[in-house]
Amino acid sequence: MCGEKARRNGKTKIGKKRFFCRYCYYSFIRQRHVKVGYSDFVKFHDFIVNKLNKEAILEKEYISRTSLWRKFKPFFGYCPAPEDSNFLIPKNLSNAKPRPWVLGIDGKWLHRQGVVMIYRDVTNKFNLYWSFHFSESYEAVEKDFEKVNLIIKDSLFSGVVSDWKGAIVSAVNIFFPPTPHQRCLSHVQRQLLRFLPLRSPIPATQKLRIIAKVITDIKTHEEKYYWVSSVNYWILKYGHILKEKTIGVGVKKKWWYTHGNTRRAVKLLTFNEKHLFAYLDYPFIPNTNNSLEGLNSQIKTKLSNHRGMQTPQQITYLFWLFTFKRIKNRYDLKRLWDSLKNKIYRF
């Protein structure tokens, strides 16, 4: 893979000669490579963005599935980095912006194998950076912020919206301490409705659920004041149930809170309300991360349409998808092909 000479390394189970590179420690067999060109790259683009499915390409080109896979294999063998297509970022995104813009951060978990982190300019609806990590750790977000800084240069974002994971909050506070950080209210609402079941027989839970459902509808400071007052009134009237305990009999735990999920919901509603309503003080910040939620929904649908891919293939597929999202016309696609073809030919 590195271009150095390789030595023989035995045979595979089916009798093919295996080779091993002592410099990059890559083991491989010699295969018949099919040369791919720009026309194949266009078909691959249409396949990734779902303009054409596999059956339509087979019918149009009069080729077999094996031949199609041989043509697509070099593309799946190369995982494009965000830096490979940074030249496609519009100038008004990379230079000084005429208006404040907001950075949206979210992650798409691939089962339990890892998470694809996405950093998006939600104001201009453009993906700035993406990466794969085994967890949403502070070290992972820190590395990504260093890359994002190189892209945005002097055009610092004016706000952040995220699902308020601990690593993201810590990284924003350390790297950009004065930046307002809005917690996605859609995430908060989903958590609250999960803690407060619809058919709960407890009146206190039913009333708290009604309060929780309207959290995304608050538009002014006055509405916020009435909403906070309703939460405080609920605590004053039903707060005693939060202290109720159940004594364990015949189990290891001696006791636990009877209404544990209700306690979690109240804590979520009352803990540092500043991050819940930052958008009221900064109107340019959205109160939800719907721009990224819509992208995550598309990812889920596309991965479902291509079931059977292993995690490395899913990562490569998503990285190509994000790269092609930056394509606005065929001219951009040709420029991308010219910049990547030498890297793709290696595979």
At residue 124, the pLDDT reads 87
Sequence spans of domains, the chain: 1-30, 186-281
Q: Which two tokens stand for residue 231?
A: 């939460």
User: Which residue has better confidence, 23 or 1?
Assistant: 23
Closest to 116 in 3D by CA, of 325, 318, 327: 318
Percent of the chain residues topping a pLDDT of 90: 47
- Is 241 in contact with 262 (CB distance < 8 Å)? yes
What average pLDDT does the structure give for the chain?
A: 87
pLDDT band at 159 (very low <50, low <70, confident <90, very high): very high
Q: Which residue intervals of 14-124 are DSSP H helices?
A: 38-48, 54-61, 65-76, 91-94
> Average of pLDDT values for 270-288?
89
Cβ neighbours of residue 340 closer than 8 Å, sequence gap 6 or more: 78, 80, 84
Asked if pLDDT for residue 263 goes beyond 60, the answer is yes
By the 8 A CB rule, do 141 and 118 touch? no
Mean local confidence (pLDDT), 77-87 = 89
- Given this model, what pLDDT does residue 229 score? 94
Read off the pLDDT band of 1 (50, 70, 90). Answer: low
pLDDT in the model for residue 221: 93
Task: State pLDDT tens for residues 293-344.
Answer: 888 888 888 888 777 888 888 999 999 999 999 998 999 999 999 999 888 8
Give the residue-averaged pLDDT of 177-203: 92
* Mean pLDDT for the stretch of residues 103-117: 91
3-state secondary structure at position 26: coil
Q: What is the pTM (predicted TM-score) of this model? A: 0.83
Averaged over 21-31, what is the pLDDT? 76
pLDDT at 96: 46
Start-to-end C-alpha separation, the chain: 8
Q: Higher confidence at residue 202 or residue 4?
A: 202
Specify the DSSP element, H or E, that contains 247.
Answer: strand 245-247
